Structure 1
């Protein structure tokens, strides 16, 4: 007796998630779902990155909104990309830079790109904080981040928080690849020196008689 093999029901097949190139092309063709997926996947990272290089949160929010409006309105004319995150970061930085320059001329807020000054906020790059440092020592480590310039802080953020490559960071920040290596290397060295100083202070405190 011959038994026919059951064929799987194709209606239950799960389609593979589209990669960046495919999703981008779907969006460019007018697929609203693809556009929504791009927005939802990157909105938080864009906001977090934007607020690291621009102190005005409202400006960051406006630039992000304008960016996505522009993308939708000009979707047919956009070029291809296989890294949507990189594309969006680079586009947002350009918009923030233009906005900062315009606001500076009108004296509405200081230019976040004009000078390399210490950052005003603590860093999220906890990979550079010693694992067993107590809370008060962690605060001192965060103070070490304030010694970095804005460009160093931005590069560190892109490299260690958003996991972008050196080449991508160079393109986003408008730097040569070698300059990007040097920028991040110097920033890490500065942080390492502060970490060592903090650890030495901890050891010294422990060695003191109670």
Structure 2
């Protein structure tokens, strides 16, 4: 029954009916707010992101077609917005850290050697990561790049907490056994 109501509101919104759009917003906003709040823990930010999501939906409604599961569409969209926000914030924060004054002054040779070593290490790690199964890569990215907790990852992906831990464990084991990486750190 709820699914049919959401589909009717969705179709009305796509047709440009503001009442349907408002009703869709009223129906979905509380659930999406709770979902995003579990990942961000900042109610004002969550509110801003969800308002942006609904505005983008309204502005792009002419480009969107009918869907079977309206709720899932908005949950996926919310997840994407939250993860994009986390990535951008992390990127901005890392830029601020790099802008601070250096504590030590290194010689040009030290910097060149360090950059070459870091570049080689990065290439080897990326090569090993690319050989991991897609699900393990996604979970590692969420855990270490996006800095999401295991429960947050489980919630976002809709899988059990233990499955997330198992994926991370297997991925790390695979990386440890990667011949390029083991040779790099054996020296």
TM range (shorter): 0.5 to 0.7
Q: Deviations over 1:110-156 (max 9, x none)?
A: xxx443999xxxxxxxxxxxxxxxxxxxxxxxxxxxxxx7243453x
2:27 & 2:49 partners in 1: Cα distance? 17
| Residue 93, structure 1, aligned to residue 122, structure 2 | no
* 1:85 Cα deviation from its structure 2 partner: 1.5
2:151 is matched with 152
Flag the structure with larger Rg: 1
Which segments of 5 or more consecutive residues in structure 2 lack a partner in the other structure?
95-141, 165-187
Which segments of 5 or more consecutive residues in structure 1 lack a partner in the other structure?
1-16, 119-148, 159-168, 171-179, 188-210
Give the 5 Å matches for 1:92-171. 92-107=78-93, 113-115=142-144, 150-155=149-154, 157=155, 169=157
TM-score, length basis structure 1: 0.47
* 1:80 Cα deviation from its structure 2 partner: 1.7
* 1:186 Cα deviation from its structure 2 partner: 4.8
* 1:42 Cα deviation from its structure 2 partner: 1.0
Of 21, 29, 39, which aligns to 1:35?
21
| Aligned residues: CA RMSD | 3.4
2:53 is matched with 67
1:94 & 1:43 partners in 2: Cα distance? 16
Pairs aligned (count): 119
TM-score, length basis structure 2: 0.52
